[in-house]
Amino acid sequence: MPSYHFPPNFLWGAATSSYQVEGNNERNDWALAAWQGKVPVCGRAVDFYNRFEEDFKTAQSLRHTAHRLSLEWSRIQPEAGRFDAEPVQQYKRMFLSLREKKIKTVVTLHHFTNPLWFYERGGWFNPESVDSFAAYVKAMTEEYAPLVDYWITINEPMVYVYNGYVKGVWPPFEKSLKKAVVVLTHLTQAHLEAYRIIHEARADTKVSFAKHVRVFNPCPSYNLGQNNLIAYLRNKIFNHRLLEYCRKKEALDFIALNYYTMDFVKWSLSRTAGIECTHSHRRLKKNSLGWYNYPEGLYALLMGMKRYRLPVFISENGTSETDDRAYRAYLLSHIQAVGKALDKGVDIIGYLWWSLIDNFEWDKGYHAHFGLFSVDEHLQRIPKPFAYLYRDVCARNGF
């Protein structure tokens, strides 16, 4: 395996999100859906809300230099117009703890969950959603602007819309393309507003939304011409449309990129955007969730980011496996892809593994294991051996 040396100041670390790790978040749309039996119960998660100090110490001992976490809007603003001082202080303690450990702070303002009051008013379908989000962002930036190094406004808008409004497997469980378009428009406006507000509070800060990118490979069976077209269109629309738009509006300081896997896609009579092909065409390895391990995809997508002339921060990359060898293989091959892209002139400033710790994986509940750590029933953190391999990469700034 060739060796790679990353640029000085390259950031290494891991990512988490509030609902997935904190525990006892009961005032949001996911908690409601769990109570209604529509999605798994999250419950106490891994109690990160109270145990963050221990987890940050571990991250520090693993030589992480950046950590991404999200603010739980429903905790901070449990009712319309009312901000709760206790969580605001608790997040401040988290940021100060990171700072003290010389770990850069990457903060997401919206990572899939919505406060109940917001949800009951129609969520992101309501045109007032943009103003509600903006008020929350304003309050947060006034509080935290000096303590945050990188802001991520909204995590994966397209994934949120697809799962919540097209596939209907996440709250609000809608299957309406018309609504999906409206919601995506509001999320985009919310990002533009948030970008402006955050810069008003601190001009030199860095802001992006987190873009989930996937590789779309044409299913090599019959209809190859049409399948190629579907793959091309999906790449253009899913991976690039929003980035292009926000870049044009000058509302991106860097590109936060989340990458996991690849899909084979094919043409279909009934769906303009084609469909995913579920046959296994190649002997590619899959993870425990059935996702292809495809580091070539990360390299190709990173190369595709050159056109934006912005630094790229890999804000999530990871896998769920059952044995350590598979984690190691995924980790090294993806970091190698990052190294190769750096060599080819892509400006990449950091890499965050998803996730620091096994956690609540949305509609899959606790059946996925993305963490560098697992947890037992007493919430003891147990390192997986590949966490030490990653530590060595972070410590050497390459491999």
Interface with ligand BGC (CB under 6 A): 17, 20, 155-156, 159, 212, 258, 316, 354, 361, 370
Strand pairing partners for 374?
382
- Contact (Cβ atoms closer than 8 angstroms) between residue 372 and residue 386: yes
If the CB atoms of residues 21 and 59 are measured against ligand BGC, the closer one turns out to be: 21
CB of 160 to ligand BGC, least distance (A): 9
Strand pairing partners for 276?
265
Q: Which stretches within the chain are classed as H helix?
A: 18-21, 29-35, 48-61, 73-76, 85-100, 116-120, 129-144, 157-161, 177-201, 224-234, 241-248, 295-304, 324-343, 386-396
CB of 357 to ligand BGC, least distance (A): 12
CB of 96 to ligand BGC, least distance (A): 25
If the CB atoms of residues 201 and 255 are measured against ligand BGC, the closer one turns out to be: 255
If the CB atoms of residues 201 and 372 are measured against ligand BGC, the closer one turns out to be: 372
CB of 157 to ligand BGC, least distance (A): 11
CB of 361 to ligand BGC, least distance (A): 5
If the CB atoms of residues 156 and 321 are measured against ligand BGC, the closer one turns out to be: 156
At 249, list the tokens.
């509006």
Q: b vs e for 236-251, b when ≥16 Cβ sit within 10 Å of the residue's Cβ?
A: eebbbebbeebbeeeb
CB of 210 to ligand BGC, least distance (A): 7
- Cα torsion 93, 99, 105, 109 to 10°: value is 20
If the CB atoms of residues 153 and 227 are measured against ligand BGC, the closer one turns out to be: 153
- Distance from C-alpha of 180 to C-alpha of 160, rounded to nearest angstrom: 10
Among 339, 314, 324, residue whose Cα is nearest residue 260:
314
If the CB atoms of residues 253 and 358 are measured against ligand BGC, the closer one turns out to be: 358
